[in-house]
């Protein structure tokens, strides 16, 4: 005798919605939690503002790679790693002071050339051409002269 399959149990009903007002934190938490699980806000701050947080003497020799569990991983060359190991307490205290809380416990160094951002190229030199001689005197003439400079400086 063939048995007929049992029907699946009914799906549980969702809890009733509360249409009252809620705080913004309750609304944003489910949205931002996945992003913060991937990268903590402190890690984002360290990676984004490395040059200003670490200072020029550290920022030119090392670049941050990863921040997890209180350990900041820095990429640097071999000789720089040796020197930075001796200066690690200073760098850790500088970073924690800049972040406003005790976030960085340890530094880990990986030997690779640091990825340093190149400074932006200088703006092209502005070639000024003298304005035409037949401009009216006064503020109108000055405004027309500035406009002439802008129009003529474009490629």
Same domain assignment for residues 89 and 149 = no
Helix (H) or strand (E) holding 52: helix 50-54
Q: How far apart are CA 120 and CA 118, in angstroms?
A: 6
Q: What residues contact 101, with CB distance under 8 A and at least 6 apart?
A: 42
Same domain assignment for residues 43 and 72 = yes
Same domain assignment for residues 105 and 138 = no
Residue 94 corresponds to which tokens in the numbers above?
């500088």
Structure confidence by residue, pLDDT tens digits, 7-42? 878 888 877 777 777 677 667 777 766 665 555 666
The residue written with tokens 């760098």 in the block is 91
Same domain assignment for residues 81 and 135 = no
Same domain assignment for residues 139 and 94 = no
Q: Is residue 97 part of a domain?
A: yes
- Angle at the Cα of 87 from the Cα atoms of 66 and 118, rounded to 5 degrees: 55
Q: Is residue 11 part of a domain?
A: no
**pTM above the 0.85 mark?**
no
Same domain assignment for residues 105 and 143 = no
Q: Which residues sit opposite 62 in a β-bridge?
A: 76
The residue written with tokens 């070639």 in the block is 127
Q: Is residue 14 part of a domain?
A: no
Chain-centroid distance of CA 46 in Å reads: 8
Same domain assignment for residues 43 and 86 = yes
Same domain assignment for residues 106 and 76 = yes
Helix (H) or strand (E) holding 111: strand 106-111
Same domain assignment for residues 44 and 80 = yes
Structure confidence by residue, pLDDT tens digits, 48-104? 788 888 888 888 888 888 888 888 898 888 888 888 888 899 989 988 888 788 888
Q: Is residue 125 part of a domain?
A: no
Same domain assignment for residues 99 and 136 = no
Residue 105 sits in which domain range? Answer: 31-111
Same domain assignment for residues 88 and 149 = no
- Asked if residue 107 lies in contact with residue 63, where contact means CB atoms within 8 angstroms, the answer is no
Strand 106-111 to strand 62-68: parallel, antiparallel, or no bridges (unpaired)?
unpaired
Q: Is residue 64 part of a domain?
A: yes
């Amino acid at each position: 005798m063939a048995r007929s399959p049992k029907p699946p149990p009914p799906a549980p009903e969702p809890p009733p919605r509360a249409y009252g007002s809620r705080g913004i934190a309750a609304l944003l938490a489910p949205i931002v939690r996945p992003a913060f699980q991937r990268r903590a806000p402190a890690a984002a701050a360290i990676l984004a503002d490395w040059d200003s947080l670490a200072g020029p003497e550290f920022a030119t020799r090392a670049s941050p790679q990863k921040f997890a569990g209180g350990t900041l991983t820095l990429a640097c060359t071999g000789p720089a790693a040796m020197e930075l190991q001796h200066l690690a307490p200073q760098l850790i205290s500088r970073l924690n002071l800049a972040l406003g809380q005790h976030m960085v416990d340890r530094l880990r160094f990986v030997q690779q050339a640091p990825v340093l951002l190149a400074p932006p190229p200088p703006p092209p030199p502005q070639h000024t051409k003298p304005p035409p001689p037949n401009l009216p005197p006064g503020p109108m003439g000055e405004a027309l002269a500035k406009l002439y400079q802008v129009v003529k400086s474009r490629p």
